[in-house]
């Protein structure tokens, strides 16, 4: 191998002498990366979506191959994010494809050290029982001077940023109807 061709295999040489002076394209490619094909090139279809992780609502393109999500990228047409995703949004493929994803209700009984699976109907009934009991025990009709309160301080809601506007609207409506005052969302905190 001559000195010139040895240098030609060196990324810095290619960066300084080629058409990629910033070293963010062809100059930085190895033989291995040159031989790769992007999953976005081999997808059967592409769906438009919105990143579910926070209230910014960055646009996403969801690439599908053989009926499975094969890649998720930023959507260049989104006026909000213009093709960009933060590291969390860039990793959202795992949200739908990770084998570690929880697909059942997990419950740890009081004082237990073990988690167990519950079916959804059982879990929903347990939640409803606890909400009703907390509301009954903490309901306040009036204050010390007889002024109407019609509230409970025994129930509160703290939502995560993956909740969207519509979900937050319904949560606020439900909890206010139950008499709760403390209704918050991580996106606002
Ligand atoms: S988590 Fe990141 S990518 Fe997703 S909407 Fe928020 S800022 Fe955008």
Q: What is the pLDDT of residues 117-144, one digit of tens each?
A: 999 999 999 999 999 999 999 999 999 9
88 lines ligand 1 (CB under 6 A): yes
Shared domain for 112 and 181, answered yes or no, is: yes
Alpha-carbon distance of 96 to 52, in angstroms, equals: 11
Nearest to 98 by CA among 119, 68, 118: 68
Q: In this model, does residue 105 exceed pLDDT 60? A: yes
51 lines ligand 1 (CB under 6 A): yes
Alpha-carbon distance of 160 to 155, in angstroms, equals: 17
Q: Examine residue 39 and state whether it is found in any structural domain, yes or no.
A: no
Q: Examine residue 29 and state whether it is found in any structural domain, yes or no.
A: yes
Percent of the chain scoring above 70 in pLDDT: 96
> What pLDDT does residue 188 have?
59
Q: In this model, does residue 187 exceed pLDDT 80? A: no
72 lines ligand 1 (CB under 6 A): no
Which residue's alpha carbon is at the smallest distance from atom 6 of ligand 1? Answer: 54
Shared domain for 115 and 181, answered yes or no, is: yes
Shared domain for 125 and 68, answered yes or no, is: no
Shared domain for 22 and 49, answered yes or no, is: no
Shared domain for 112 and 175, answered yes or no, is: yes
Q: Examine residue 52 and state whether it is found in any structural domain, yes or no.
A: yes
Query: Residue 148 contacts by C-beta under 8 Å, 6 or more apart in sequence?
Result: 141, 142
Cα angle, residue 166 at apex, residues 178 and 75 outer, rounded to 5°: 155
Shared domain for 140 and 179, answered yes or no, is: yes
Shared domain for 163 and 110, answered yes or no, is: yes
Percent of the chain scoring above 90 in pLDDT: 68
Strand partners, 105: 118
Tell me, in angstroms, the distance from the centre of ligand 1 to residue 89's CA.
Answer: 5
Shared domain for 61 and 26, answered yes or no, is: no
pLDDT band at 162 (very low <50, low <70, confident <90, very high): confident
> What pLDDT does residue 3 have?
67
Digit-coded pLDDT (tens) for 18-64: 889 998 888 888 888 889 999 999 999 999 999 988 878 899 999 99
53 lines ligand 1 (CB under 6 A): yes
Which atom of ligand 1 is the closest one to the Cα of 53?
1
Does the pTM exceed 0.75? no
How much is the average pLDDT of 83-102? 93
Shared domain for 124 and 149, answered yes or no, is: yes
Shared domain for 116 and 144, answered yes or no, is: yes
Are the beta carbons of 133 and 126 closer than 8 angstroms? no
Are the beta carbons of 75 and 60 closer than 8 angstroms? yes
Task: Out of 65, 81, 97, pick the residue that ends a domain.
Answer: 97
Nearest to 159 by CA among 60, 55, 70: 55
Shared domain for 132 and 176, answered yes or no, is: yes
CATH number for the domain that contains residue 54: 3.30.200.210
pLDDT band at 1 (very low <50, low <70, confident <90, very high): low
Which residue's alpha carbon is at the smallest distance from atom 4 of ligand 1? Answer: 89
- Domain of residue 8 covers 3-34
Q: Which helix (H) or strand (E) holds 36?
A: none
Shared domain for 157 and 173, answered yes or no, is: yes
Domain count, the chain: 3
Q: Examine residue 40 and state whether it is found in any structural domain, yes or no.
A: no
Alpha-carbon distance of 74 to 76, in angstroms, equals: 6
């Amino acid at each position: 191998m001559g000195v010139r061709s040895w240098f030609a295999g060196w990324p810095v040489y290619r960066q300084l002498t080629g058409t990629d002076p910033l070293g963010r394209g062809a100059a930085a490619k190895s033989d291995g990366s040159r031989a790769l094909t992007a999953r976005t090139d081999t997808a059967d279809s592409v769906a438009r979506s919105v990143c579910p992780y926070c209230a910014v609502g960055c646009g996403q393109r969801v690439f599908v191959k053989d009926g499975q999500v094969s890649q998720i990228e930023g959507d260049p047409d989104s006026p909000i994010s213009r093709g960009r995703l933060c590291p969390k949004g860039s990793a959202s493929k795992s949200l739908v494809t990770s084998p570690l994803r929880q697909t059942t209700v997990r419950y740890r009984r009081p004082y237990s050290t073990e988690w167990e699976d519950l079916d959804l109907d059982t879990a929903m009934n347990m939640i409803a029982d606890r909400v009703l009991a907390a509301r009954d025990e903490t309901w306040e009709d009036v204050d010390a001077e007889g002024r109407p309160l019609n509230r409970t301080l025994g129930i509160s809601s703290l939502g995560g940023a993956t909740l969207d506007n519509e979900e937050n609207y319904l949560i606020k409506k439900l909890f206010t109807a139950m008499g709760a005052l403390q209704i918050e969302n991580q996106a606002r905190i």
